[in-house]
Amino acid sequence: MDAKVGTLKRDEVSEQSQWDLSGLYSSDEEWNSELEALERELPGYASFQGTLAQTSATLKACIEFDMNFSRKLEKLYTFAHLKNDEDKTNSFYQGNFEKVMRLLNEAGSASSFIRPEIMAIPQDQMAQFLEEKEIEFYKYHLEQILRYREHTLTDKEEKL
């Protein structure tokens, strides 16, 4: 019995031994379309900056925007990462992985104000927000962020 020694090239691997990623995206075109759509949503973060303490509705809208954006980005990332891992010699999927990593970094920068702004909301105001029905679903999420309040420097202290 002759066994093939070494690693098979991607085109030598049987279809049944390959990942089926069609549950994420049915085609590279669909993935690219979703990536472009999410890139267009990225500026949406800026509309929330400096507003999170205004009302619980504004805070809720920002959290929902961020969570929805993150879910879409995770799906794009997962597909690109797995396609890249299928064949490390495929420059097309390397390029797609680089595109999604760039968007991931841009999203991190665009959303970097959220935690500091939440922690800067005065405690009495945040306590009131947390009692409101509007924000009830996100109470645990907010409490996890607020746990770091006493360990976080203000903007002024950070600049020193």
Is it the case that residue 160 has pLDDT exceeding 60?
A: no
Residues 78-92, mean pLDDT to the nearest whole number? 93
Of the candidates 144, 116, 139, 140, which has an alpha carbon nearest to the alpha carbon of residue 56?
Answer: 139
pLDDT for position 9: 79
Q: Which one has a higher pLDDT value, 61 or 159?
A: 61
Task: Give 87-112 pLDDT, tens digit per residue.
Answer: 888 999 999 999 999 999 999 999 99
The rounded percent of the chain whose pLDDT value lies above 70 is 92
Write out the DSSP string of the chain: -PPPPSPPPGGGS-GGGS---TTT-SSHHHHHHHHHHHHHHGGGGGGTTT-TTT-HHHHHHHHHHHHHHHHHHHHHHHHHHHHHHH-TT-HHHHHHHHHHHHHHHHHHHHTTTHHHHHHHS-HHHHHHHHHSGGGGGGHHHHHHHHTTGGGS--HHHHH-
10: confidence class by pLDDT, cuts 50, 70, 90 = confident
Confidence label for 115 from pLDDT (cuts 50, 70 and 90)? very high
pLDDT at 1 over 60: no
List domains and CATH numbers for the chain. Answer: 25-159 (1.20.140.70)
Mean pLDDT value across residues 53-76: 98
pLDDT value at 8 more than 90: no
Short-list 71, 74, 95, 69, CA closest to 83: 95
Most confident among 16-20, 63-67, 130-134 (mean pLDDT): 63-67
- Mean pLDDT score, 74-85: 97
